[in-house]
């Protein structure tokens, strides 16, 4: 025992020192779960129950609401879900490929223009992507792409933050010696990247994939600006239109609520599943300069 | 980027500086970065430059002939002057400041608090809490707004239900000035979990010998948290703070989604909403472009100020 006060302090409040932190963090957990619980409960309420019964009392209209949801606009909800999956899935995969290649190139080679590219990418992290949405829309209209799937997919592929993370991760996880050894064995640069670089960078790439997937899935302004055809909407824009019409047509509220409930379940599941593969320490670790 | 505290090797990226006595195909690195560079130019640089170009143009009557013709001409800073003298656009920044003053400190403060609690040996139910607090990250802002919006609406709000039962009446979540807290709350709810994880992973990276040393010196858990842990996770706090500031300036989806439920949110409630209105409702693209450029400049300036104030070289690449 170094000092008597130390032992005294920890012994005095064995209950409080455990209960207080646990209580505080459980309140935090509750705060985060309440809206999710609310939307799940509300999705079971019929239209008349929504505004009349106690807000956390389960209702009787779950099946009815589900039918309404999938019948709305001739099955538009299914298209929205499919579109969200398409934008986020394809966008995130392409984004990871582009980021991993660029990050690896920037980390493992010396070449003219490397620093210029790196600083341009850092600047890109600071520029709010969203303020680019309007000029992107104008440029897309000029080449006749506005309103297409490509108009939402293409701008999200390049992710300055993703490239930055991949560069940090390539620098930290792919040893130069391994690359050198492969070169001595006569492997080409592309082969070294795909057979040695990519497997070593995989945890970092999963992280970038998740960040991009969630980012695109949650995106609202870009598809909102780019798209006019409701069948090409992602879930976010689709639910927004339901809600904005809902003030004049309350029946749509029920559809919006169950639509929200159904949409968060797969993403939460995906997130919980991929959580173990995350290397989020990358994000903060990259800062230790 | 900022000061001249050049370190020759950085811990995380140090391996890039190795002797260059190797022969390699000089094209390879360019092939690797080419897709990123092409997309960067096409979807960041060109739109940015186009925005700047557009912000100096305007439709003006060009005299000549029997009818005056409207043509796009160079008009200098007129769009900037008209945007910056628009009281509604400026008021949008004021509302953004109030919103940010609530959302940013609470998001970061709660994220830090929860991260410290997760890192504390005595805390129970860690796995459950960590997962629960992280879940909102997977919920799109629009969906979060929809859920909270109903929890604010007097008829469906569980909070107002309780206060009515207690005889205190309905909580005016969707009226001024409560609306600021209500919108900020949606951002806090969505942001705490992700920031908590970043700070927590950063905490896990601290060698435990440091705590042992502090304990031998008689520090209690609170002192260890404040004097050892918080200073050591400052880089993570700076990064999360930076993203919180950038995120605040880009607020759009939440107030737009909440608008159908309340009259307290105008069409120009935050700057991006004004920009959207100028571009697509008023069809005044040059002014929208000028406002966008202004917003981007503000973002960069604020980010640089933040990084300077904290005296940390975030994004520790080589300088």
Please tell me if residue B317 touches chain A, with a CB cutoff of 8 Å.
yes
How far apart, in whole angstroms, are the C-alpha atoms of residue A158 and residue B211? 41
Spacing of C-alpha B110 from chain mean position: 16
Q: pLDDT (tens digit, 9 = 90+) per residue, A70-126?
A: 999 888 999 999 999 999 999 999 999 999 999 999 999 999 999 999 999 888 887
**In CATH, which of 1.10.10.10, 3.40.50.300, 3.40.50.1000, 1.10.3720.10 is domain B78-315?**
1.10.3720.10
Positive or negative, the Cα torsion across A32, A34, A37, A38?
negative
How far apart, in whole angstroms, are the C-alpha atoms of residue A79 and residue A232? 7
Please tell me if residue A74 touches chain B, with a CB cutoff of 8 Å.
no
ipTM (interface pTM)? 0.86
- The token duo for A98 is 């582009």
| pLDDT at A4 (0 to 100) | 43
B292 CB neighbours in chain A (<8 A) are: 131-132, 134-135
**Is A172 in contact with B15 (Cβ distance < 8 A)?**
yes
First to last CA, chain B: 7
**Is B32 in contact with A101 (Cβ distance < 8 A)?**
yes
B296 CB neighbours in chain A (<8 A) are: 127-128, 131
**Is A221 in contact with B193 (Cβ distance < 8 A)?**
no
pLDDT < 70 stretches in chain B? 1-25, 63-68, 311-319
| pLDDT at B24 (0 to 100) | 54
* CB contact set of B303 (below 8 Å; sequence gap of 6+): A126, B242, B245, B246
**Is A167 in contact with B13 (Cβ distance < 8 A)?**
yes
How far apart, in whole angstroms, are the C-alpha atoms of residue A150 and residue B39? 13
What are the residue ranges spanned by the domains of chain B? Answer: 27-76, 78-315
Distances (CA, A) of B186 to A115, B193, B260, B277: 39, 13, 16, 23
Share of chain A above pLDDT 90, in %: 53
| pLDDT at A268 (0 to 100) | 85
Give the pLDDT band of residue A129 (cuts 50, 70, 90). low
| pLDDT at B10 (0 to 100) | 40
Residue of A248 and A9 predicted with greater confidence: A248
Domains and CATH numbers, chain A: 70-285 (1.10.3720.10)
Find the closest chain B residue to A19 by CA distance: B123
Please tell me if residue A98 touches chain B, with a CB cutoff of 8 Å.
yes
| pLDDT at A5 (0 to 100) | 43
A 218-277 → B contacts, CB under 8 A: 218-221, 225, 235-237, 239-240, 243-244, 246-247, 253, 256-257, 260, 263-264, 267-268, 270-272, 275
Find the closest chain B residue to A32 by CA distance: B133
* CB contact set of B197 (below 8 Å; sequence gap of 6+): A278, A280, B115, B130, B134
Please tell me if residue B3 touches chain A, with a CB cutoff of 8 Å.
no
- The token duo for B230 is 């918080």
B289 CB neighbours in chain A (<8 A) are: 134-135
**Is A121 in contact with B36 (Cβ distance < 8 A)?**
yes
| pLDDT at B311 (0 to 100) | 62
How far apart, in whole angstroms, are the C-alpha atoms of residue B151 and residue B158? 6
| Residues written for chain B | 319
| pLDDT at B266 (0 to 100) | 93
Find the closest chain A residue to B222 by CA distance: A17
Shortest distance, CA A191 to any CA of chain B (angstroms): 11
| pLDDT at A32 (0 to 100) | 95
DSSP-derived pairing of the beta strands B57-62 and B69-74: antiparallel
| pLDDT at A238 (0 to 100) | 94
B45 CB neighbours in chain A (<8 A) are: 120
- The token duo for B109 is 């403060």
| pLDDT at B6 (0 to 100) | 40
Find the closest chain B residue to A98 by CA distance: B36
Q: pLDDT (tens digit, 9 = 90+) per residue, B85-108?
A: 999 999 999 999 999 999 999 999
DSSP string, chain A: ---HHHHHHHHH-HHHHHHHHHHHHHHHHHHHHHHHHHHHHHTTS-HHHHTTS-TTS--S-HHHHHHHHHHGGGTHHHHHHHHHHHHHHHHHHHHHHHHHHHHHHHHH---TTHHHHHHHHHHHHHS-GGGGHHHHHHHHHHTT-TTSHHHHHHHHH--HHHHHHHHHHHHHHS-HHHHHHHHHTT--HHHHIIIIIHHHHHHHHHHHHHHHHHHHHH--HHHHHH---GGG--HHHHHHHHHHHHTT-THHHHHHHHHHHHHHHHHHHHHHHHGGG--THHHHHTT--
Rounded mean pLDDT of A201-230?
Answer: 91
What are the φ/ψ torsions at residue B210 (nearest 5 degrees)? -65, -40
| pLDDT at A283 (0 to 100) | 65
| pLDDT at B15 (0 to 100) | 44
Residue of A224 and A59 predicted with greater confidence: A224
Q: pLDDT (tens digit, 9 = 90+) per residue, A149-190?
A: 999 999 999 999 899 989 988 998 899 999 999 999 999 999
First to last CA, chain A: 38
Strand-pair partners of B70? B61
How far apart, in whole angstroms, are the C-alpha atoms of residue A123 and residue B243? 14
Rounded mean pLDDT of A13-35?
Answer: 87
Choose among B154, B176, B147, B157: nearest CA to B263: B176
């Amino acid at each position: 025992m170094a000092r008597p006060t130390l032992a005294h302090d920890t012994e005095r409040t064995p209950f409080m020192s455990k209960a207080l932190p646990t209580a505080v963090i459980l309140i935090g957990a509750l705060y985060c779960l309440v809206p999710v619980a609310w939307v799940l409960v509300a999705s079971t309420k019929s239209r008349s129950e929504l505004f009349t019964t106690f807000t956390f009392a389960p209702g009787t209209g779950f099946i009815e609401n589900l039918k309404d949801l999938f019948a709305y606009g001739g099955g538009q909800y299914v298209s929205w879900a499919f579109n969200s999956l398409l934008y986020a899935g394809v966008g995130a995969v392409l984004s990871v490929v582009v980021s991993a290649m660029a990050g690896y190139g920037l980390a493992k080679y010396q070449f003219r223009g490397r620093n210029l590219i790196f600083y341009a990418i850092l600047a890109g992290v600071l520029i709010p992507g969203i303020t680019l949405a309007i000029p992107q829309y104008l440029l897309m209209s000029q080449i006749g792409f506005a309103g297409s799937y490509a108009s939402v997919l293409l701008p999200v592929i390049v992710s300055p933050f993703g490239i930055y993370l991949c560069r940090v991760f390539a620098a930290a996880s792919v040893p130069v010696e391994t690359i050198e050894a492969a070169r001595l064995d006569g492997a080409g640069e592309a082969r070294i990247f795909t057979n040695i670089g990519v497997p070593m960078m995989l945890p970092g790439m999963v992280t970038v994939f998740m960040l991009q997937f969630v980012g695109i899935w949650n995106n609202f302004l870009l598809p909102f600006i780019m798209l006019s055809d409701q069948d090409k909407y992602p879930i976010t824009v689709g639910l927004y239109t339901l809600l904005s019409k809902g003030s004049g047509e309350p029946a749509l509220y029920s559809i919006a609520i169950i639509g929200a409930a159904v949409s968060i379940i797969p993403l939460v599941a995906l997130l919980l599943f991929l959580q173990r593969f995350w290397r989020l320490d990358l994000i903060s670790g990259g800062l230790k300069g | 980027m900022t000061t001249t505290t050049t370190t020759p090797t950085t811990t995380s990226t140090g391996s890039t500086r190795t002797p260059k006595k190797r022969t390699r195909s000089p094209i390879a690195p360019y092939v690797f970065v080419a897709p990123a560079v092409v997309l960067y130019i096409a979807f960041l640089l060109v739109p940015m430059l186009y925005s700047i170009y557009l912000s100096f143009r305007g439709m003006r009557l060009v005299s000549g002939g029997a009818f005056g013709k409207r043509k796009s001409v160079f008009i200098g800073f007129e769009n900037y002057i008209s945007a910056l003298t628009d009281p509604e656009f400026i008021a949008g920044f004021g509302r953004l400041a109030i919103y940010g003053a609530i959302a940013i400190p609470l998001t970061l403060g709660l994220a830090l608090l929860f991260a410290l609690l997760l890192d504390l040996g005595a805390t129970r139910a860690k796995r459950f809490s960590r997962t629960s607090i992280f879940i909102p990250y997977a919920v799109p802002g629009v969906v979060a707004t929809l859920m909270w919006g109903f929890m604010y609406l007097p008829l469906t709000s569980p909070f107002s239900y309780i206060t009515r039962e207690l005889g205190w009446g309905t909580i005016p979540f969707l009226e001024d000035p409560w609306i600021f807290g209500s919108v900020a709350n949606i951002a806090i709810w969505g942001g705490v979990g992700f920031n908590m994880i970043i700070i927590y992973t950063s905490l896990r990276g601290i060698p435990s010998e440091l705590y042992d040393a502090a304990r031998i010196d008689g520090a209690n858990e609170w002192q260890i948290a404040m004097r050892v842990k918080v200073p050591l996770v400052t880089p993570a706090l700076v990064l999360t703070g930076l993203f919180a500031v950038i995120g605040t300036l880009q607020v759009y989806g939440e107030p737009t989604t909440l608008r159908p439920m309340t009259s307290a949110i105008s069409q120009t409630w935050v700057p991006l909403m004004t920009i959207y209105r100028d571009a697509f409702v008023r069809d005044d693209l040059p002014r929208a472009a000028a406002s966008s450029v202004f917003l981007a400049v503000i973002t960069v300036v604020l980010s640089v100020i933040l990084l300077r104030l904290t005296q940390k070289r975030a994004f520790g690449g080589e300088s």
